Amino acid sequence: MTVLDDNIAKLNGYLQRFRDTGILNRIAGADVPGAAGVFENITPVDRSVICEVAHGDATDIDAAARAAHAAFTDWRDMPALERKKILIRVAEGIEARAEEIALCECWDTGQTLKFMSKAALRGAENFRYFADQVVRARDGQHLKSPTLMNVTTRVPIGPVGVITPWNTPFMLSTWKIAPALAAGCTVVHKPAEASPLTARLLVEIAEEAGLPPGVLNTVNGFGEGAGKALCEHPLIKAIAFVGESRTGSLIVKQGADTLKRNHLELGGKNPVIVFEDADLDRALDAVIFMIYSINGERCTSSSRLLVQDSIREEFEDKLIARVNSIKVGHPLDPSTEIGPLVTEEHFKKVTSYFDIATEDGATVAAGGKTVGDEGYFVRPTLFTNASNQMRIAQEEIFGPVLTSIPFKTEEEALQIANDIPYGLTGYLWTNDLTRALRFTDRLEAGMIWVNSENVRHLPTPFGGVKASGIGRDGGDWSFEFYMEQKHVGFATGQHKITRLGAG
Ligand code: NAD
């Protein structure tokens, strides 16, 4: 038996109960069928049906929002250390079921085990990190003025909605839900319709860890139904959203009548800029990793390579050789580097750019082909001879597709890097320190790495500028979103109060 056979056998064991009963919504600690019936969950590996999923709509969202509302006061008032203990038990529960989470995630999304084997552990890390912050989450400042002792405190905003996408869904869900729970908020989670499996595992693990019923509720369904209803619900005080930029705009509109607070983590078309003075071997490794790992379905991927003219030919030659050697295959084979794209719709979108590239006059230097006809597999693709005005340079393709654009000078590189609606991340490769300082100062992005691929550190702020989002996660920034600042002034003496109507 190969490792792949073994993984498939284990996966089938884990999936059996979903095949038997489908995935139900979880509201107030109980399994609830979807008010709109069911929809089918398909694997991108061979297009077979994984299971049926509860199709939730406004009715289910209303029930979940009421459950989150009812559970809020007790959860908010639970002593911080008790809440911390529960969140740590959630982290332990995730670790205990890491294999199940990883295998289900791969089958559901097409992500490879090579990258998803760590997804559960990163999810657990999110819970551990924010569990450690629980005790100080409510702390504020004491600011003395001449007549008052001014105290600020923070209180959880209330029940919140979390809407997540299908790329690395488990990690992203924990990234939102862990700080919300740590802050003392209750949650209604609407996972992406294309990847419901691990959201179900998360709510089960959380409840087994002692999370009271109603503190985390999961409603499956589609954006225009359940998602929209969540944004519009008056009992939901804020929406933490991760997804496409145009959906982010809808989230804001839908929440306008109820004055929702929104946190938006949106799309990207991120530049990696390679100067001739860089460590080119390390730059090459990082360029490849940041677009071809996680199937290129990664908001922070460096999908635009800006490479200096003087080294372009040599750099691209090496790039082509490496891209052509990337292994596409079954996501549960541990040696596979790229698995299938998540859905038929997404597969069609990504492959449509193969023609768009040639129509626009770029060269398909590697890939540009689909693989087999069982699932949604594509060869990792590199476009060269591109200009920044082409669609392949301006639009988020969200697949293993890199567009290489040459530049001559630092000024030109900066102009190209910033000439884009997005501003999530940027990656700079140079050994000139003053250039790095200058460039990072003027590069329009929420997160920039110099001589490094994206290395996430939980206490640092995560988020984008321009069409890539509004707001920041990470460290205390997460609590800024899930909590309200409250000011209380205590008089320290008999200061003069202006008397009206006293003659
Ligand atoms: P999407 O916007 O299509 O869907 C995301 C979620 O929003 C899904 O759960 C969907 O059902 C829901 N949704 C859709 N329409 C809605 C509506 N009108 N109201 C409420 N909810 C609605 O995104 P996707 O295709 O699932 O994910 C890929 C996108 O996510 C990419 O653009 C990627 O860059 C982005 N992303 C961003 C980050 C980040 O941190 N900036 C991280 C991961 C993914």
Query: pLDDT digit string (tens) for 284-326?
Result: 999 999 999 999 999 999 999 999 999 999 999 999 999 999 9
Mean pLDDT in the chain?
A: 97
Burial of 477 (0-12, 13-18, 19+ CB in 10 A): middle
C-beta neighbour count of 217 within 10 angstroms? 30
Q: Of all protein residues, whose CA lies closest to atom 22 belonging to ligand 1?
A: 223
pLDDT tens digits along 135-153: 999 888 889 999 999 999 9
Task: Please name every residue paired with 309 in a beta bridge, in sequence order, or none if there are none.
Answer: none
Task: Give the residue from 203, 214, 220 showing the smallest Cα distance to 29.
Answer: 214
Residue 230 CA: distances (Å) to CA of 29, 56, 172, 240, 496: 19, 11, 18, 11, 48
Res. 89: pLDDT tops 90: yes
Half-sphere exposure (Cβ direction) of 234: Cα atoms closer than 13 Å: 1
At residue 197, the pLDDT reads: 98
Distance 248 CA to ligand 1 centre (A): 8
Strand, helix or coil for residue 282:
helix
Average pLDDT of the residues in 474-489: 96
Reported in sequence order, the residue ranges of 260-417 that DSSP labels E, i.e. its strands, are 261-265, 271-274, 304-308, 363-366, 370-371, 377-378, 381-384, 401-407
In 3-state terms, what secondary structure has residue 316?
helix
Cβ 34 under 6 angstroms from ligand 1: no
Which atom of ligand 1 sits closest to the CA of residue 222?
A: 11
Mutate to test the pocket of ligand 1, among 163, 174, 425, 462 (most ligand atoms within 8 A of CB): 163
The span from the CA of 482 to the CA of 263, in Å, is 10
Tokens of 45: 């590996």
Q: How confident is the model at residue 1 (pLDDT cuts 50, 70, 90)?
A: confident
Output the pTM of the full model. 0.97
335-357 pLDDT tens trace:
999 999 999 999 999 999 999 99
Return the best residue to mutate from 244, 246, 258, 472 for the ligand 1 pocket (most ligand atoms within 8 A of CB). 244
CB 140 within 8 A of CB 152: yes
Which class would CATH give 271-450?
A: alpha beta
119 has pLDDT over 90? no
pLDDT per residue over 22-58, tens digit each?
999 999 999 999 999 999 999 999 999 999 999 999 9
Residue 201 has pLDDT above 90, yes or no: yes
Percent of the chain at pLDDT above 70? 100
Looking at 3.40.50.1220, 2.40.50.140, 3.40.605.10, 3.30.365.10, the CATH number of the domain 3-266+468-487 comes to 3.40.605.10
Q: Please give the pLDDT value at position 281.
A: 98
pLDDT in tens, 417-462: 999 999 999 999 999 999 999 999 999 999 999 999 999 999 999 9
Q: Is the minimum distance from the CB of 227 to ligand 1 under 6 angstroms?
A: yes
Which active-site residues does the annotation give?
265
What digits encode the pLDDT tens for the residues 461-480? 999 999 999 999 999 999 99
Tallying the residues shown for the chain, one arrives at 503
Sorted by where each begins, the domain ranges of the chain are: 3-266+468-487, 271-450
User: 377: helix, coil or strand?
Assistant: strand
CA-CA distance, 67 to 79, in Å (whole number)? Answer: 21
Question: Is residue 279's pLDDT more than 90?
Answer: yes
DSSP 376: -
Indicate the Cα dihedral angle 28, 29, 32, 34, nearest 10°.
60
Q: Is 58 in the pocket of ligand 1 (CB under 6 A)?
A: no
pLDDT band at 167 (very low <50, low <70, confident <90, very high): very high
Site of tokens 């209180």: 155
